[in-house]
């Protein structure tokens, strides 16, 4: 009964927080001075309401289908900065940047000026990603992670800084995933327990198969050159050999080792590759522009160089 009361209080606090922050973007727009401006404000209010409803619905679903199965307690902090070779932090940065980029485009479509739309997008992104941190803060299994929140702020800030400084996104954060076959090493059971069995679960949880990319658009940095506008040079970060948060070993409540594969090295991986900026494809169709913006958050497979374990190796095709 006490745990249920805490969970309800957690939901109430998170929803109240989200409803407040979801409407903050409306403060970045000036008061209407014409009929067209009044229409723009009207659209923005609907967008804010839609985002608040969408985020709140998502949070309630997340609470009911994920956090409800774990015990809760009063709000607390948890330091997980040493886990998963910081791949989870890269994931937070990517998610916050992508959410800010998409919401920026949505706010801009309401008539907001580009700088204001970028600020509204960053605020909306932080409202979305920090909701998970709020729930973690009330969960006995985890806690509010300062490292995760810092990565969230950096991701949204990267979008905002580029839009305010360069008036364009010269550096795009992207994601790629390549499934890992754990069966030959006899690790399928461990992998299923950690990362799930469904494709979507593994894409979200299996840090060994994920790569996060910073894609630099060369033509935007060198406008006087004849470089194609779609060409990106991409720096990627990945990791492998991780079968636990900080080590490849697990103990039960009594201290007995129930899983031990300390012989498997946990490795950081750096990549150099090429990519395509899909948003540079010229089109007058709004639906196609939005589709290209969404798909552009995923890096296309391409040849790549990998640096790991002090060695350089080439991949004909890196996902």
- Span 243-264, pLDDT tens digits: 999 999 999 989 999 999 999 9
Q: What pLDDT sits at residue 44? A: 79
Which one-letter DSSP state was computed for residue 31? Answer: P
Q: Is residue 223 part of a domain?
A: yes
Q: Is residue 162 one of the residues assigned to a domain?
A: no
Cβ–Cβ under 8 Å, residues 150 and 158: no
Q: Examine the domain organization and report whether 143 and 53 are in the same domain.
A: yes
In whole angstroms, what is the distance from residue 196 CA to residue 141 CA? 18
Distance CA 292, CA 279 (A): 6
Which residues constitute the domain of residue 227?
170-319
pLDDT score at 242: 98
Residue found by looking up tokens 């194609």 in the block: 228
* Residue 138 shares a structural domain with residue 198: no
Higher per-residue pLDDT: 105 or 70: 105
Whether 194 and 298 share a structural domain? yes
On the question of pLDDT at 97 being above 60, the answer is yes
317 located within any domain:
yes
Residue-wise pLDDT for 163-175, tens only, equals 999 999 999 999 9
Average pLDDT, the chain: 87
In a domain, 113, yes or no: yes
Residues 174, 313 within the same domain: yes
Residue 131 lies in a domain: yes
Please indicate, yes or no, whether residues 140 and 105 belong to a single structural domain of this protein. Answer: yes
Number of folded domains in the chain?
2
Confidence class of residue 2 from pLDDT cuts 50, 70 and 90?
Answer: very low
Who has greater pLDDT, 131 or 318?
318
- Check whether 15 has a pLDDT greater than 80: no
Quote the pLDDT of residue 30. Answer: 46
Q: Looking at 16-25, 64-73, 279-288, which range is the least confident one?
A: 16-25
Per-residue pLDDT tens digits for 206-227: 999 999 999 999 999 999 999 9
Q: Percent of the chain having pLDDT more than 70?
A: 84
Task: Among 124, 154, 184, identify where a domain stops.
Answer: 154
Q: What is the pLDDT of residue 33?
A: 46
Kindly report which listed range (68-77, 92-101, 268-277) carries the lowest average pLDDT score: 68-77
pTM score: 0.88
In 24-145, which residue ranges form alpha helices assigned H by DSSP?
35-65, 87-108, 114-138
* 161 occurs within a structural domain: no
* C-alpha dihedral sign at 6, 8, 13, 18: positive
> Is the confidence at residue 14, as pLDDT, over 60?
no
Which of 123, 154, 185 marks a domain boundary? 154
Same structural domain for residues 108 and 209?
Answer: no
CA distances in angstroms from 19 to 14, 66, 131, 218, listed in the order given: 9, 21, 11, 40
Over residues 145-159, the pLDDT tens digits come to 999 999 999 999 999
| Strands (DSSP E) found in the chain | 171-177, 210-217, 231-240, 249-251, 257-260, 267-276, 302-308, 311-318
Mark whether 92 and 192 lie in a shared domain. no
Both 146 and 174 in a single domain? no
Nearest to 51 by CA among 134, 123, 157: 123
Question: Same domain, yes or no, for 149 and 195?
Answer: no
Same domain as 191, residue 44: no
Q: Are residues 9 and 141 in the same domain?
A: yes
Asked, for residue 163, whether it belongs to a domain, the answer is no
Q: Tell me, yes or no, whether 65 and 147 share the same domain.
A: yes
Q: Is residue 164 part of a domain?
A: no
Domain termination residue (choose one: 119, 154, 189)? 154
């Amino acid at each position: 009964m006490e745990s249920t009361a805490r969970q309800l209080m957690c939901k109430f606090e998170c929803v109240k927080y989200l409803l407040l922050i979801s409407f903050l973007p409306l403060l970045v727009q000036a008061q209407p001075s014409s009929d067209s401006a009044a229409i723009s404000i009207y659209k923005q209010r609907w967008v804010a309401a839609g985002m608040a409803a969408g985020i709140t619905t998502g949070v309630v679903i997340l609470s009911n289908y994920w956090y409800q199965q774990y015990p809760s307690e009063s709000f607390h902090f948890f330091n997980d900065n040493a886990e998963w070779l910081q791949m989870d932090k890269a994931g937070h940065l990517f998610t916050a940047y992508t959410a800010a980029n998409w919401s920026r485009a949505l706010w801009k479509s309401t008539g907001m000026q580009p700088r204001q739309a970028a600020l509204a997008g960053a605020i909306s992104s932080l409202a979305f990603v920090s909701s998970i941190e709020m729930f973690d803060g009330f969960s006995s299994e985890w806690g509010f992670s300062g490292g995760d929140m810092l990565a969230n702020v950096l991701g949204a800030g990267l979008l905002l800084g580029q839009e305010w400084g360069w008036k364009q996104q010269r550096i795009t954060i992207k994601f790629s995933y390549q499934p890992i076959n754990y069966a030959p090493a006899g690790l399928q059971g461990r992998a299923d327990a950690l990362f799930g069995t469904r494709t979507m679960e593994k894409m979200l949880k299996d840090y060994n198969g994920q790569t996060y990319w910073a894609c630099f658009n060369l033509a935007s940095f060198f406008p006087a050159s004849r470089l194609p506008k779609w060409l990106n040079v991409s720096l990627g970060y990945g990791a492998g050999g991780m079968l636990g948060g900080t080590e490849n070993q697990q103990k039960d409540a009594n201290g007995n080792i129930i899983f031990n594969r300390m012989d498997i090295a946990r490795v950081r991986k750096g990549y150099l590759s090429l990519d395509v900026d899909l948003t540079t494809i010229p089109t007058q169709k709004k639906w196609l522009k939005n589709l290209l913006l969404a798909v552009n958050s995923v890096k296309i497979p391409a040849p790549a160089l990998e640096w790991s374990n002090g060695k350089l190796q080439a991949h004909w095709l890196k996902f």
